[in-house]
Amino acid sequence: MTAMRSLLSLLAAPLLMSAAAPPAKPALWPAKPALWKVADADTTIYLFGTVHILKPDTVWFQGPVAQAFSASDLLVLEMVDPPPAEADAIMMRHAVDPDGPPLTIKIGPKNAARFRTLMGSLGINPDTLEAMDPWFVATLASLLPLQKLGYNPDIGVDKTLAKAARSVGKPVLGLETMAQQIAYFDTLPEPDQITMLQETLEEAPKIDQLAGEMTRDWASGRTDDLARLMNKNLDTSPRLSRVLLTDRNQRWADWIAQRLATPGTVFVAVGAAHLAGPESVQTRLAKRKLKVVRIN
């Protein structure tokens, strides 16, 4: 899994909460993303893979997905967004390295040149990021170009579901906190962070193609194709893959298995990469002898 694929698929949208969103466009593209169900005698848990940032021409909240959401008593997301001031405080606590050398010294001249070129194309003064950790700059370098292309976190699946739940008084629970998610990156050794930034800068020219392929596979319910795309070059970043993907899948499968002991209907929505491939949440549940059925 390259750094770009990791960041696009596994990081929720808090890093972009303060960014300006492009104007909305008419919704034109009907999507049919995959939906699963695991159930026992008195509990039903729906599993839905999300895309955290979308273009406004994608229609997905309909059909079986909307029906399952309406039937659920509880919405469970990867993370519930904290208030903006709290989010900013968490970010600055983890993303700044005030005592280390400047970013461009850490990453070397070749990466520094790419970094300055990309930030300049985004209208960002690269000098303002010299005190930031490489993981944070890698995140900006992968997400901000998407906004420039018309992708919008405010209409991403997670935020749309949360808004819909709150509008009808449906409780919303987070499997993780923002501080936990940020810590996944911040606790990576600095060489791994630098590698993540380098890979992100190298892939930046392909961001439109990569995001388009991922979105099309998700919108078409092609989970096998999505898994192949997400797992490409998996061996090149084993630590990042373990921290962001496999360990979390294990914890979330544990949570789902335990939640089956409580009656009710739950709609669990997590990044689509977690519900695709051989290390998926469904695979972890199957190892517990729990039957997961795709219902669309």
> Which pLDDT score is estimated for 18?
37
Predicted pLDDT at 256: 98
pLDDT at 100: 85
pLDDT of residue 30: 74
Q: Decide: 276 and 224 in contact? Cβ < 8 Å.
A: yes
The tens place of each residue's pLDDT in the chain, 296 residues long, gives 344 444 444 443 334 333 344 444 444 457 899 999 999 999 999 999 998 888 888 889 999 999 999 999 999 999 999 999 999 999 889 999 988 899 999 999 999 999 999 999 999 999 999 999 999 999 999 899 999 999 988 889 999 999 999 999 999 999 999 999 999 999 988 998 998 899 899 989 999 998 889 889 999 999 888 877 876 655 567 777 888 889 999 999 999 999 999 999 999 999 998 999 888 999 999 999 999 999 98
Whether the predicted model's global pTM rises above the 0.75 cut: yes
Largest CA distance in the chain: 61
Enter the tokens of residue 171.
Answer: 């409780």
What is the pLDDT, as a whole number, of residue 232?
Answer: 66
Query: Domain range holding 12?
Result: 3-294
> How many folded domains does the chain comprise?
1
CB within 8 Å of 275: residues ≥ 6 apart: 34, 36, 47, 48, 49, 223, 281, 282
